[in-house]
Chain A
Amino acid sequence: MLSWIWLVPVVPFFGFLILSLFGGFLSRRMVAVTGAGSISVSTVLGGLVAARLIMEKAGEVPMAFHQVWWTWVGISRLRVQIGFHLDAVSTVMMVVVTFVALLIHLYSIDYMEEDEGYSRFFAYMNLFVASMLVLVLADNFLLLLLGWEGVGMCSYLLIGFWYREPANGLAAQKAFLMTRLADTAFILGILMIFSHLETLQIQEALRRAVVTWPHGSSAAVTVAALFLIGAIGKSAQIPLQTWLPDAMAGPTPVSALIHAATMVTAGVYLIARMHELFELAPVVQMTVGIIGGLTLLLSAMSALAQQDAKRILAYSTISQIGYMFLALGVGAVSAALFHFMTHAFFKALLFLVVGAVSMRLNHERNIMKMGGLRHDLPLAFWTFLIGAAALAGFPLTAGFFSKDWILWEVWSQESGSVWLSGSIWLWGMGMLGVFLTALYIFRAFFFIFYGDQTTQPDRKTPSWALSISLIVLAGFSLMGGWVEWPATFGNVALFSGFIGTAIPVHRASAHVFIEELLIQALSVGLVLFGIFSAYLLFLRHPGLVEAVVGTTPGKELRRAALRGWGFTRLYNWLIVQPFLKTVRVSKHDPVDRLYTRLMVNPYLWMAQINKDDFLNRFYDLLVTVNRACYLAVRRVQNGHLRWYARIMGAGAVVMMGMVIFL
Chain B
Amino acid sequence: MMLGWLLIILLVGGVLAWWGERWGPSVPRWIAVMALGLDMALVLGWVVVPFAQGSLSSEALWMAEWHSPWIPRFGIHLHLALDGLSLLLILLTFLLGISAVVASWTEIQRKIGFFHFNILWVLAGVVGVFLAIDLFFFFVWWEVMLVPMYLLISIWGHERRAYAAMKFFLFTQAGSLFMLIAIVALTMIHFEQTQIVTFDFLQLKETSLTVEQEMWLLLGFFLAFAVKLPAVLLHPWLPDAHTEAPTGGSVILAGLMLKTGGYGLLRFALPLFPHAAESIATAGMTLGVIGILFGSVMAFAQTDLKRLVAYTNISHLGFVLLGIFAMNAYAYQGAVMQMIAHGISTSALFILVGALQERMRTRDIRRMGGLWSVVPKHGGFSLFFAMASLGLPGLANFIGEFLVLLGVFRVNIILTVFAVLGIIGAAIYSLFFIKGTFHGPNTEGWTIPDLGPRHVALLGVMIVFQVGLGLYPQPVFQAADPFIQTLPAPAPSSPPPLTWVP
- CB of B431 within 8 A of CB of A150, answer no
Does B245 sit within 8 A of A, measured CB to CB? no
- CB of B298 within 8 A of CB of A610, answer yes
Does B23 sit within 8 A of A, measured CB to CB? no
Q: What 0/1 pattern do residues 597 to 620 of A give for CB contact below 8 A with B?
A: 000000100111011010110010
- CB of A607 within 8 A of CB of B421, answer no
Known: A177-B428, A196-B495. A607 touches B300 (CB 8 A): yes
A-B contact pairs, 11 of them (CB 8 A): A20-B380, A74-B477, A156-B431, A163-B438, A164-B370, A164-B373, A173-B431, A173-B435, A192-B409, A216-B501, A619-B167
Known: A78-B330, A164-B441, A611-B301. A191 touches B406 (CB 8 A): yes
- Given contacts A142-B393, A192-B409, 16 further A-B pairs with CB under 8 A are A72-B473, A73-B474, A153-B387, A156-B431, A160-B435, A169-B435, A169-B440, A177-B424, A188-B417, A191-B405, A192-B495, A216-B501, A218-B498, A603-B297, A608-B301, A616-B236
Nearest chain A CB to B405's CB is how many angstroms away?
6
- CB of B500 within 8 A of CB of A191, answer no
- CB of A222 within 8 A of CB of B498, answer yes
- CB of B329 within 8 A of CB of A75, answer yes
Q: Complex Cα distance A619/B481, Å?
A: 39
- CB of A615 within 8 A of CB of B236, answer yes
Q: Complex Cα distance A608/B302, Å?
A: 9
Q: How many residues on B have C-beta within 8 angstroms of the other chain's C-beta atoms?
A: 58
Q: Complex Cα distance A46/B402, Å?
A: 31
| In the complex, chain A residues whose CB is within 8 Å of the CB of B498 | 218-219, 222
| In the complex, chain B residues whose CB is within 8 Å of the CB of A603 | 297, 300, 428
- CB of A195 within 8 A of CB of B409, answer yes
- Segment 359-402 of B: residues with Cβ below 8 Å from A: 370, 372-373, 376, 380, 383, 387, 392-394, 399, 402
- CB of A150 within 8 A of CB of B474, answer no
Which residues in A have some Cβ–Cβ distance to B below 8 Å?
20, 24, 70-76, 78, 82, 116, 142, 145-146, 148-150, 153, 156-157, 160, 163-164, 166, 169, 173, 176-177, 180-181, 183-184, 187-188, 191-192, 194-196, 216-219, 221-222, 283, 603, 606-608, 610-611, 613, 615-616, 619
The answer, among A169, A188, A194, A218, for a CB contact under 8 Å with B500, is A218
- CB of B431 within 8 A of CB of A615, answer no
| In the complex, chain A residues whose CB is within 8 Å of the CB of B383 | 157
| In the complex, chain B residues whose CB is within 8 Å of the CB of A71 | 474
Does B99 sit within 8 A of A, measured CB to CB? no
Q: What 0/1 pattern do residues 461 to 496 of B give for CB contact below 8 A with A?
A: 000000000011110010001000000000000010
- CB of A160 within 8 A of CB of B439, answer yes
The answer, among B329, B442, B495, for a CB contact under 8 Å with A76, is B329
- CB of B236 within 8 A of CB of A613, answer yes
Does B423 sit within 8 A of A, measured CB to CB? yes
- CB of A613 within 8 A of CB of B232, answer no
Does B219 sit within 8 A of A, measured CB to CB? no
Does B53 sit within 8 A of A, measured CB to CB? no
Q: Complex Cα distance A195/B383, Å?
A: 34
Does B153 sit within 8 A of A, measured CB to CB? no
Q: Complex Cα distance A619/B235, Å?
A: 10
Main secondary structure of the interface of B (DSSP, over half): helix
Does B172 sit within 8 A of A, measured CB to CB? no
| In the complex, chain A residues whose CB is within 8 Å of the CB of B275 | none
Nearest chain B CB to A225's CB is how many angstroms away?
10
Q: Complex Cα distance A196/B410, Å?
A: 9
- CB of B417 within 8 A of CB of A150, answer no
Does B427 sit within 8 A of A, measured CB to CB? yes
The answer, among B399, B431, B438, B442, for a CB contact under 8 Å with A73, is B399
User: Shortest 4 CB-CB distances between A and B: which pairs?
Assistant: A607-B301, A146-B393, A218-B498, A163-B439
- CB of A150 within 8 A of CB of B393, answer yes
- CB of A177 within 8 A of CB of B427, answer yes
List the A residue with the shortest CB-CB distance to B399: A73
Known: A149-B393, A153-B387, A611-B302. A217 touches B501 (CB 8 A): yes
| In the complex, chain A residues whose CB is within 8 Å of the CB of B431 | 156, 173, 176-177
- CB of B330 within 8 A of CB of A75, answer yes
- CB of A146 within 8 A of CB of B406, answer no
Nearest chain A CB to B122's CB is how many angstroms away?
24
Does B420 sit within 8 A of A, measured CB to CB? yes
List the A residue with the shortest CB-CB distance to B303: A611
Q: Complex Cα distance A195/B409, Å?
A: 8
Q: What 0/1 pattern do residues 217 to 249 of B give for CB contact below 8 A with A?
A: 000000000000000110110010000000000
Nearest chain A CB to B312's CB is how many angstroms away?
14
List the A residue with the shortest CB-CB distance to B236: A616
Q: Complex Cα distance A613/B423, Å?
A: 21
List the B residue with the shortest CB-CB distance to A163: B439
| In the complex, chain B residues whose CB is within 8 Å of the CB of A156 | 431
- CB of A218 within 8 A of CB of B410, answer no
- CB of B232 within 8 A of CB of A615, answer yes
List the B residue with the shortest CB-CB distance to A178: B424
